[in-house]
């Protein structure tokens, strides 16, 4: 039977004493609509430390498939971060090319301004 003090904990349509799909008692935790990156990181770190996925799922009220997605994305991000090279020759060439393009763009701009000031045919003689 229901006690008057537990009426606030009962979810309409729920069986008394039943647990939700994630294992928590109904009505005990508010559903989180949006998770920040730092909160997700803390949950993923718990998984990487070896806590069981089902226990973490029950604790944070997030389905197991979602936790596994977060863990997979975190591992993929770590892989990409660890693949970077500090002295990559291609990056050096790209940096040199970018600097050279910048120099050429500045030179073209200066020549266009100079041409506008003098006029397109200023100080030129005919070929005859």
Q: pLDDT tens across 39-81, in order?
A: 999 999 999 999 999 999 999 999 999 999 999 999 998 888 8
Residue 78 lies in a domain: yes
- Give the C-alpha separation, 29 to 19, whole Å: 12
- Beta-carbon contacts of 70 under 8 Å, excluding residues fewer than 6 positions away, are 40, 43, 44
Residue 18 lies in a domain: no
Residues 40 and 76 in one domain: yes
Residue 6 lies in a domain: no
Residues 107 and 70 in one domain: no
Residue 71 lies in a domain: yes
Residues 74 and 94 in one domain: no
What predicted TM-score, i.e. pTM, was given to this entire model?
A: 0.45
- Give the C-alpha separation, 107 to 71, whole Å: 50
Number of domains within the chain: 2
Residue 11 lies in a domain: no
- Give the lowest-confidence range in 3-17, 80-94, 99-113: 3-17
Contact 74, 41 (CB under 8 A): yes
Residue 128's pLDDT band, with cuts at 50, 70 and 90, is low
CB atoms within 10 A of CB 117: 8
- Give the C-alpha separation, 81 to 75, whole Å: 10
Residue 2 lies in a domain: no
Residue 44 lies in a domain: yes
Contact 58, 43 (CB under 8 A): no
Residues 96 and 114 in one domain: yes
Contact 74, 44 (CB under 8 A): yes
Backbone angles phi, psi at 84, to 5 degrees: -65, 145
Contact 48, 42 (CB under 8 A): no
Residues 68 and 98 in one domain: no
Enclosing domain of residue 78: 36-84
């Amino acid at each position: 039977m229901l006690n008057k003090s537990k009426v606030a904990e009962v979810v309409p349509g729920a069986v008394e004493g039943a647990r939700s799909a994630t294992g928590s008692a109904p009505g005990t935790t508010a559903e989180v609509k949006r998770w920040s990156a730092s909160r997700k990181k803390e949950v993923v770190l718990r998984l990487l430390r070896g806590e069981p996925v089902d226990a973490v799922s029950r604790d944070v009220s997030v389905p197991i498939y979602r936790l596994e997605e977060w863990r997979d994305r975190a591992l993929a991000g770590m892989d990409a971060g660890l693949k970077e090279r500090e002295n990559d020759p291609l990056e050096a060439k790209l940096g040199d090319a970018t600097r050279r393009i910048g120099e050429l763009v500045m030179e073209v701009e200066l020549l266009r301004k100079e041409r506008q000031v003098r006029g397109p045919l200023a100080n030129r003689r005919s070929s005859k």
